[in-house]
Amino acid sequence: MKKAIVWTAILGGILGLLGCAPGKPSAGPGTVNPAEFKTHLDQGIQALSVKDYARAALCFERAVAADPRASRAYNLLGIALFQQKNTPQAKAMFEKAISLRPDYAEAYNNLGGVFCLLKEFEKAKEMFRQAVGLSPQDVSATYSLGHLLLMLGETEEGMTWLAKGIELDPDFLEKHKDMTVGLAYEEYNEAEIEFAYARLFAAAGNVDKTLVHLERADRASFKDWARVLTDAAFERVRDDPKIREFLKSRGPGG
């Protein structure tokens, strides 16, 4: 069954906000006052961390005025604008960050999120691929690429990227539920996607996470529970008492 649901594209720039490296130093003319730049940047990060996006945007605007070549400030300004649903300006800021620093994986990932919101999925895929190519340990971009591919029906490759994301951080989606932006997409089959996640966690032997996604698939009206009994991905977990109890009330065929 296909229905309208909400998919989430994760903004990588937020996730590493307080602990990420400052990026490459600015080059060339334009730095007015390094101390002033740092003050505005730090104030913007603080505002962003408490979801005061309007103040964050103002601080980052002042930061880029103090240093027009500060790629990180443009990226963070893009995030603040994006969270205010100012998609065109957010897109422009992420593109500016990339133009200043072509190896900026987080900015590519964030721009991918913008293209998802605009339903320009081929461009989104390209941006996510750029991000994971530049930063193979980027959990956010890895999940985003895998989820987008799965959503678009490119199942095999999507599952590969999601499996890598789970390997990098199996708790990522739960930990960052409040750091997502919604994308409505009518053709997205929520039940099948949740079942796909259950398969991945089952193959990894993670019973609790498997159960979480089986329950979500159930709430999304998944019915073909016989697949848990026949799919090789569930071999490591199907005899677990928790999984058996879950299946008991649903029957092998749902």
Specify which residues 185 forms β-bridges with: 5
> In this structure, are 57 and 172 located in the same domain?
no
pLDDT confidence band for 122 (50 / 70 / 90): very high
What's the confidence (pLDDT) of residue 81? 95
Q: Which two tokens stand for residue 254?
A: 């749902």
> In this structure, are 120 and 145 located in the same domain?
yes
Distances (CA, A) of 237 to 170, 194, 242: 16, 17, 9
In a domain, 222, yes or no: yes
> In this structure, are 175 and 233 located in the same domain?
no
Q: How many domains does the structure of the chain reveal? A: 3
What's the confidence (pLDDT) of residue 191? 85
Does the structure show a pLDDT above 90 at 46? yes
Residues constituting the chain = 254
> In this structure, are 87 and 195 located in the same domain?
no
- The CA distance from 254 to 250, in Å, is 5
Question: Which CATH number does the domain housing residue 42 bear?
Answer: 1.25.40.10
In a domain, 15, yes or no: no
Amino acid found at 20 = C
In a domain, 138, yes or no: yes
In a domain, 17, yes or no: no
> In this structure, are 154 and 93 located in the same domain?
no
> In this structure, are 242 and 208 located in the same domain?
yes
Final residue belonging to a domain, choices 171, 188, 205:
188
Domain that holds residue 203: 189-254
pLDDT confidence band for 188 (50 / 70 / 90): low
pLDDT confidence band for 11 (50 / 70 / 90): low
